Structure 1
Amino acid sequence: MENSTPDLTWLIEHILPKGELLIVQSPSCVGRSLLLLDWAFCHATGKPWFGHHVGSGSVAYCSSEKLQGLGGRARAWYTTYESEIDLPVSQTPISFYELGTLSDDNYFIATEQLTEEIAALPETPSLIVLDVLTTDERKARVLAYRLWQQFGTTVLLTSTSGTYDNIVQLIPLEQSSEQRFLLRLPSKYSAPPLQLRLQSVSPSDKDFPLADATSYIIECEGQQSA
């Protein structure tokens, strides 16, 4: 694939640029968190993302969801891809933070605490994910902007609505036996939309405790080569 955006350098080639603040927008419950985890684990391990080269680095993954709720998804990912990566789970450079729901009552404290914890990491993460629930998206954007300004790294923030310049959209497709959605990237990337789907993964007996009997990973239909 030709680089039609020579001014950009890539965290995930032709998908996520380095040092950008991006909004990942979709309705709830369409696989957005799975996609963010997929990108985070690929970056932490250096595993290519469906043919797109991925630069490896450390990740700070900040979620409003309870951390044990992420265990099944993380386990499903490693169960599927453990033969393709060199790092054992215990050495993967990804740090998880539990934010809770951002509100007027906890916003300032949560922002200060998160900023201090990320600053205290042995190395500045090259990817920060804010997978948050909030009653005020403006506050979440301010938090994302502060982290982006302070650490100069790629920051991904979830959103359900609004119009932004740097926006990645996850659009549900028609209902079927499998959940499918379209990944639409910012126009300046000159990249065509990708069709993604959820693939169920049977549990195994190692790595992470499962919250559910079955979890899911992201698959790409008609994947492209970088």
Structure 2
Amino acid sequence: MALQAREKEILILDAPIQPNDEDYALMALQAREAELFYYSIYLKPDSCALAQHRDKPPVKTITLPNGGFKLLTCEELLSGQSPLNEWLIHGMIEKGNLGLIFGNPSSGKSLYVQDMCFCIAAGLMFHGLETATGNVVYIAGEGFSGLRKRFSVLAKKYEVPPPNNLHISEMPAAIVDQKSIESVRNAIDQVGKVALIVIDTLHRNFGDGDENSARDISQLLSNIDTYLKTTGATVLIIHHSGHESKGRGRGSSSIRAAMDVEYSVKKEGDTVTVENTKVKDFDPPSPMSFKLKSIELNKDVGGVVLEPTEQIPSKQKGSTSSDIENTILAVLANAPSDQFVHATDACVVSGKIPARALKADYVKTETYSKMDNPTKEAKRKAFQRAIERLVETQKIGSGDNCYWLPPSP
């Protein structure tokens, strides 16, 4: 059986006349290995692609060892992508993250995410934070009548035309439903490469299921992984706060457990505050605070946007990434002479061997003493990321349990 990509669809060559589940499993594997469009493996026998090849003999299907389960060596894993953070919004959301934005009704959570979507699609800074420009898909489950006005207001606020790469659904999805999520993926594939997919809200786009049921949430997350995450896009879910616990999203705890990043949105008066409540692979950013500002579209129609209460810097709680990198460089440059050791032949950076190096434990201890991150674990993670960035950019060398500065030219 062979598969061939052609303009966002897969032609199945030498296909079986009556494909069974095992055939489709093999198609899935081949499509995945060829990095083709995943949704197309669900082609049915009466599809155009199969109909063109009904005269072909059936193929012999195989049962893959371990059900296709595969192990990578650490070297293979690290060669796949850079260990550095790849940001959708710098310091806030990474590319490929699965995230949750939750808050009470009318707290401003949709307003906040719509602003985010507009900036990413239009290639604008998001309240002082750099964004990665790309296609955005907004799966709207409610508030259709107000979306036109909200995005018109954002276009006026930023003084740019409405971005053509911001795509908004005309109806809600039912993500736990197989046919519905396949249809959603089909529509997304027509867009092309997507940077961000937003589900607003989880409840309105859930389908026939119970968000308090771990089983239904498992199906929801499975469909998100299979059909949305495989696009390579960041997926953000807008959700309501819990009925009793306002500090978490409503429903099964499985929802929060599955998230890479999570933010709460709270409104007091006309002030909206966005605060990080979970993060996995970077330092939690500082809270952002906004005021609601009215913008008039014409004499009778207007809307509101979020305006920061102060200039929002790209800043982390505790020491920032650049602070830590500068501290490490200062420790390496200014350590007492009795702390240096003779550099070995393994100590190479920029093709040169330095005269001396510092033991890694000394650099770590000195740097930790100058960091104000709240916990030891936060310091450890922040220090390690700073070291990785400095080595990646060849500002320092690392090896033999030592760190060193490159020798002078």
Settle same-fold status: TM greater than 0.5.
yes
- Post-superposition offset of 1:101: 6.5
Deviation at 1:8, TM superposition (A): 1.4
**The one of 214, 221, 224 aligned to 1:144:** 224
The structure-2 alpha-carbon separation of the partners of 1:144 and 1:26, relative to structure 1 and needing over 3 Å to count, comes to farther
Please list every run of 5 or more consecutive structure 1 residues that lacks an aligned counterpart in the other structure. Answer: 1-5, 207-211
1:65 matched to 2:123: no
Contact 2:91 2:285 in 1 (8 A): no
Q: Any runs of at least 4 consecutive aligned residues in structure 1 with deviations exceeding 4 A, and if so which? A: none
- Give TM-score scaled by structure 2 length: 0.46
SS of corresponding position for 1:98:
coil
Counterpart of 2:31 in structure 1 is: none
Residue of structure 1 in register with 2:235 after alignment: 155
**Which residue does 1:209 correspond to in 2?**
none
Q: Match of 1:203?
A: 296
1:13 Cα shift? 0.6
The percentage of counterpart residues that share the same residue type is 21
In 1, distance between residues paired with 2:313 and 2:143?
A: 35
> How far apart are residue 64 of structure 1 and its match?
0.2
Q: What is the letter of the counterpart of residue 292 of structure 2? A: Q
Aligned AA (1:129): V
CA distance in 2, matches of 1:136, 1:167: 23
Superposition pairs for residues 41-56 of structure 1, below 5 Å?
41-56=118-133
Q: Shift of the alpha carbon at 1:43? A: 0.4
Report what 1:109 is aligned to.
179
**1:127-177 deviation line (CA, Å, top 9, x unaligned):** 11111224634254344323343212111112232433423222425x32x
Q: 1:20 to 1:192 in 2, by over 3 A?
A: closer
Count residues in correspondence. 206
Maintained 8 Å contact 1:21/1:144: no
CA distance in 2, matches of 1:111, 1:148: 9
Is 2:189 the counterpart of 1:119?
A: yes
Q: Which moved more, 1:43-52 or 1:25-34?
A: 25-34
* Cα offset, 1:66, TM superposition: 4.7
Report how far residue 54 of structure 1 moved. 1.2
- TM-score, length of structure 1 as denominator length: 0.78
Find the counterpart in structure 2 of residue 97 from structure 1: 169
Once residues 282 and 290 of structure 2 are traced to their aligned partners in structure 1, the CA distance between those partners, rounded to angstroms, is 22
Pairing 1:168–2:262 present? yes
The aligned amino acid for 1:168 is: E
Residue aligned with 1:120, SS? helix
SS in 1 for 2:151: helix
Q: CA RMSD in A?
A: 2.6
Question: Cα–Cα, structure 1 residues 67 and 143, in superposed 2: closer, same or farther, change >3 Å?
Answer: farther
Higher relative contact order (CA 8 A, sep 6+): 1
Counterpart secondary structure, 2:169: strand
For 1:127, give the aligned amino acid: L
1:77 touches 1:217 (CA, 8 Å); kept in 2?
yes
Unaligned runs of 5+ in 2: 1-82, 212-216, 241-248, 315-409
